[in-house]
Amino acid sequence: MSSPRAHLLWDFFGPNAEGTAEHFRKHLLELFAAEGIDGCEVSFESRGRGHRAVRCAADAALADDLIARLRPRRVERD
pLDDT value at residue 4: 86
Q: What is residue 2's predicted lDDT score, i.e. its pLDDT?
A: 66
Q: What are the pLDDT digits (tens) for 41-64?
A: 999 999 999 999 999 999 999 999
CB 41 within 8 A of CB 58: yes
Give me the chain's average pLDDT, please: 95
Can you give the three-state secondary structure of 12-63, one letter per residue? Answer: EECCCHHHHHHHHHHHHHHHHHHHCCCCCEEEEECCCCCEEEEEEEEEHHHH
Q: Mean pLDDT over residues 25-31, rounded?
A: 97
Closest to 10 in 3D by CA, of 48, 52, 38: 52
Give the model's pLDDT for residue 78.
Answer: 87
Helix (H) or strand (E) holding 9: strand 5-13
pLDDT confidence tier of residue 3, bands split at 50, 70 and 90: confident
